[in-house]
Structure 1
């Protein structure tokens, strides 16, 4: 499956995610993205740094596509943020970073499960 296929089929088609992108783990390239979901390069770099030092996220927030999210979880694999009733799930694999946005009609745990499962699959196949 192509990288765009993972965004379209494994994330968006679930109905739990309304916008998503996949970046290289280095943050230097966008492998796939849904329309109208522009994550800025500086946001990706801040996200990459947060996988080793999450303190700035808790202090200043997690910015994705120009929107500030309150950081609710951050570890060396997963970073979650919320803005009101919607939010983002960011999961790092060996070679990629999945960034997914869920709308206010979806429970955070449902969205996280979708993104984490795709990350597990990608890790299992070497990505």
Structure 2
């Protein structure tokens, strides 16, 4: 399956996220993105730096930006960062070689979005990514 298919079929197709993108773990390249979902290079670099090599808890005490929107950090673990902005939010998950970023709107439960993104991340880890 192509990276774009993971975004289109697995993430967007679940109806549990409204927009998504997959980046290299270093944040220096975009592998796939949904139409209109623009994550600035400096935004993904901030996430990549926060994740580091995936062995320590990221530090984003003042929040972070995705798509020029500031999100308050609500969960930060070695391989996942969740952000909230009003009734919307983002789920960011790191694998060995990729960072998955997904946005969910007001009509989607945060837990549904997180489960969908984390399931894809688990699959990618299982196949070496």
Whether TM-score is above 0.5 comes out as yes
Alignment of 1:26-65 (within 5 A): 26-52=26-52, 54-55=58-59, 57-59=60-62, 61-65=63-67
Give, in whole Å, the separation in 1 of the partners of 2:58 and 2:24: 20
Give, in whole Å, the separation in 2 of the partners of 1:27 and 1:110: 25
Q: What does residue 15 of structure 2 align with? A: 15
TM-score for the superposition, normalised by structure 1: 0.95
Give, in whole Å, the separation in 2 of the partners of 1:54 and 1:76: 6
RMSD, aligned α-carbons: 1.0
Give, in whole Å, the separation in 1 of the partners of 2:51 and 2:106: 26
Alignment of 1:83-94 (within 5 A): 83-94=85-96
TM-score for the superposition, normalised by structure 2: 0.93
Give, in whole Å, the separation in 2 of the partners of 1:26 and 1:102: 24
Query: Mind listing any 5+ residue stretches in structure 1 that lack a counterpart?
Result: none
Q: What does residue 68 of structure 1 align with? A: 70
Give, in whole Å, the separation in 1 of the partners of 2:23 and 2:117: 14
Q: Write out the 4+ residue segments of structure 1 that deviate beyond 4 Å after TM superposition.
A: none
Following TM superposition, by how much is the alpha carbon of 1:31 offset from its aligned partner in structure 2, in angstroms? 0.3
Structure with the bigger percentage of helix: 1
Look up the SS of the partner of 2:21 in the other structure. strand
Give, in whole Å, the separation in 2 of the partners of 1:119 and 1:100: 12
Residue-pair matches, total: 125
Following TM superposition, by how much is the alpha carbon of 1:75 offset from its aligned partner in structure 2, in angstroms? 1.6
